[in-house]
Structure 1
Amino acid sequence: MLIAIPAEKLHGEFRVAATPETIKKLIKAGHQVKVESKAGQHAAISDAAYTEAGAEIAKDSDALYQGAELVLKVRAPDAHEIAKLPNHSALIALFDIHHYPHLAALSSKHISSYALELVPRITRAQSMDVLSSQANIAGYRAVLLATQYYPRFMPMLMTAAGTVKPARVLILGAGVAGLQAIATAKRLGAIVEVFDVRPATREQVESLGGKFIEVALSDAEKAAAETAGGYAREMSDDYKLRQSALIDSQARLADIIISTAQIPGKAAPVLISAETVEAMKAGSVIIDLAVDSGGNCPLSKADKVVHSNNGVTIVGHGNLASLLAADASALYARNMLTFLSLLQDAEGKYAPHFEDEIIKATLVCHQGSALLGKKTEAAPSRAETVI
């Protein structure tokens, strides 16, 4: 196949869908690879590095897509990009499928499209799990971002001038991002407390040195708390009231809150109310990783830093993985390479295994039809878990 790797056009997206490492493997498998000039510049990959790996550098998107059979992207294309994609080609990307507005445009060009966020949570798909690899980076970066705005030390320090108390970090959600945030905050010497609706996450939290806090659950609520795929599930109104009271009390004690809760296909749950923010300590920091889905705090604003009247800083950054573009791209590209094995035959020709459950879950456009309606319940997004 002739595989095209475009430069990402979305503002603030610094990742790239292939690296010299993965391109060498694609070429070894018999593929031709074109990379748009400067596609990797923000991920510390030069055009020369791609050329050395065996790729052809295309000066612009017109040259890039000429003859392309497969397009690998990080973020799904907008209308302008779709207009340049070859008819009857195939496309793999992160779509944010529940909010993506251009499926009809892709279908009209008979572009077979695969949404990587819909990769099911099964053992053999772990090496294709882009959301986990990117959430891991986001959890790490969230803690470092918090240290930029928090006006004190994270660890306890004993000095001749006196003792500095360690920061108290509250993490809402013990999914992939939350677990990495626990590990990173502990490395920096913070006291870490973690809330998750799923009692089963307690062991993971405590193994990383976090203190697990929870709402008391009845047996029925425990059974309902987690889906078969390991995701947290939206809980009853009565539970939400108890959850809100617990989070409010813990937030008032916290110096830093890292909030990761999202509901696939829906607005993110509000966990940190405006009233809770008003009661928090001056100098406290909230990192809201769910801001692109509406935010876990109603005061969050996408890609903005908000300062409350009482001195709380609320950081809304929905694409933290892009801030570590070099490593994020390396992991994403490896996930993509593994996924590609399901789309080709022994000779390397485009031949999707349509009966494979991973292909079934991720295929959102095929033969001129959008398949979104079949995906909404089958494979929820794992950008983070619901708590």
Structure 2
Amino acid sequence: MRKKFLCLMMSLTFVLSAQVTSAFADDGTADKSSTENSASVTYNSNDAPDAAFFDKHKAAVLREELAESGVQVSDSLSLDQTIQAALQKKPRSSAALEDVQNIQDLEMIYLRDDGKVFSSEKGYIGQAELESQSSELNSSPQGTVSPLSQTNPTPDDIHGGTSGAFERRQLNFSGFDGIISNFTIPTLSSLGDGENPYMYYGFDSDSVNVASEAGYMWQKGDGVSTFPRWKPYIRVAVNGSSSWKYGTESYVKHDGDVVNNVKSYLKKASSTDSTYTLYFIVGATQVLLADSKLTSLSGVAVKRVTSIAVDVGKFKNGNEIVGKSMNARFDNLQVSLSNSDYYYPWSNYTEYKYWNTTNGKWYGTIDCTSSYIHRSNGAISIYR
């Protein structure tokens, strides 16, 4: 059992995204290029979010930090008021003062619903990548009968299956609001053209067409200024056929790296917010945020995925991917429910899987496909 917490360090980076309206395929979709996020859009400097916008989210993060030591602070307070409350309610130890200093020093990066990206320190910094997505939704089950003909499904028989090989593990739509584990980034080899590995968390709703994900994506780089690496990223849906994705160059990782305390959770940033913010914490060194568009957590499921993604429709016959992704791990995997202040082991809950009789596809926990997914002592490998 683990109490909900957020450990902060100096120079954390925040990425926010807002105003998404629909879900997208949950297996990860391939990068359309190996270049960085595009900045080739017209920008009006008067259009940038103000300091109050960023301060609201800093206050929300500080409240989450205080909760670790059992200190509750009202979510209606400003950043300055939250800082003062923190110093009054929490012992004036060096650790408490460091928490406050860390909050004040944060650079926040905001990915807006139009794809524009803003920094609290630098202003406008670029444009996110617009990607094509599957239009399939994470709907509630239409049927739970598992036909014998689906014991070894093809990509076409799996939700999101034609956009890559993946292992997806998902819990039920029971109101989950958090997930944490230690990532071991997989080791890659022999990747084919357009094959892009991912390792991430995601939250889905059973009642509204909303989904979000955050984790690490592999990028090849241009071979001159950037080289193969794993970038922290966040992805949110624009509509049923596309999504914005933004990855930061800060805190990139490489094959085989271990990243501790990779955490994602849903929380309202203030009492006036109508929707929950998705927070993604990476090893206490970086935080990415996104407006999840969820107004309730009562029917939310959580999942974790590792994949080799390709363009939607290119993984049709179940033998097209030639690359290898070896020994990814989600160690000490724990999750939390919205009505609890604690994280418990994933294994305490029943995994979710069902056959949708309406569209003829498997949802929830699945191997896509069984010939590609290999497990050994907690490690997940993808190869054929």
Give the TM-score, by structure 1 length.
0.22
| Higher RCO (C-alpha under 8 Å, 6+ residues apart) | 2
Give the TM-score, by structure 2 length.
0.23
Report which of the two has the higher share of strand.
2
Q: Answer with 1 or 2: which has the greater Rg.
A: 1
